[in-house]
Amino acid sequence: MLPKILTIGSYSLSGYLFFNIIAFIVALITILILSYKDNLNLKVIFHFYILGIIIAILGAKLYSIIFALFNSPGFYIKNLGMLLKRASTAGAFYGGFILAIIFCILYGKKIFKEKIWKVFDITVIGLAVGQAIGRIGCFSSGCCYGKTTTLPWGVKFPFLGSLIHPYSGTYIHPTQLYEAILNFINFIFLLILWRRKKFNGQVFSLYLINYGLIRFFIEYIRGDGGRGYLIRGDSVLTSLSVPQLMSIILFISGILILKKEKP
């Protein structure tokens, strides 16, 4: 764990924030390099990316707040301070992704017109590498952790941010590293595909399919609370969490786009 990277006086730079800043920068550089190679307007792409990031952050926080109210409306209405505390967290990836996609479709179509699928293809390549680095940030803070395990690569987290970790002293799956590795593999795959793609939109559709699969199966070994379940069976195999439903929607959307756009 790297809960703190740097401390200057009363200010501390957390490992989570550090790696997420690096993730944003690397994703931006990747998107700009590929945009340059694809003859896109870099100034417009830069503004589009920054706006998309802001929208994604707001979406992630909004999703977290709505989800909290949906699960425990009475508790959070009586404890608005706790609700505001949830708003101060990074939020949930899928909330940011959904709002960012809506933004990209509505605003992106307006400014990029027929080039929108080119932009989507490039954006998800940057997103994949950003996710890989961002999950290292999760590992550094102990969040998004896994269930208990007896596997030799199980890890122990003494802290969850500034608090004692719920599984302190117990070996658990390093789900953050699993996802970081899988997202990096996805990034390499999408980058290679981008150079050889047969039509615009192919890379974007494969991102939806690949990440949908990654997140769906990672969910089976996630141990952090607040997952939210549509179906709660006797085991993980007979249950369906909200993130898994989102993953299924991504997977199906990727398949539909692939079939529609394929020449």
pLDDT in tens, 104-153: 888 888 899 889 999 999 999 999 999 999 999 999 988 889 999 999 99
pLDDT band at 87 (very low <50, low <70, confident <90, very high): low
Cα dist. 13→2, 5, 34, 56, 80 in Å? Answer: 10, 6, 31, 22, 27
Long-range Cβ pairs for the range 158-164 (8 Å, 24+): 158/1, 159/1, 159/3, 161/3, 161/14, 161/16, 162/3
d(C-alpha 92, C-alpha 223), whole Å: 15
What sign has the CA pseudo-torsion 133, 138, 144, 145? positive
Task: Give the count of beta carbons closer than 10 Å to the beta carbon of residue 43.
Answer: 8
Q: Across-strand partners of 231?
A: 240
Please check the confidence at residue 91 and state whether its pLDDT lies above 90: no
**What pLDDT, in 10s, does the model give residues 203-214?**
999 999 999 999
Amino acid 183 reads: N
Please check the confidence at residue 262 and state whether its pLDDT lies above 80: no
Please check the confidence at residue 234 and state whether its pLDDT lies above 80: yes
Whether residue 135 contacts residue 177, with contact meaning beta carbons closer than 8 Å, is answered with yes
d(C-alpha 108, C-alpha 51), whole Å: 11
Q: Is 39 helix (H, G, I), strand (E, B) or coil?
A: coil
**Ranges of each domain in the chain:** 4-261
pLDDT at 180: 97
Beta strands at 229-231 and 240-241: parallel, antiparallel or unpaired: antiparallel
Per DSSP (E only), the strands in the chain are: 4-8, 11-14, 159-160, 163-164, 229-231, 240-241
Rounded to two decimals, the pTM is 0.90
Most confident of 2-16, 32-46, 56-70, 248-262: 32-46
Whether residue 229 contacts residue 173, with contact meaning beta carbons closer than 8 Å, is answered with no
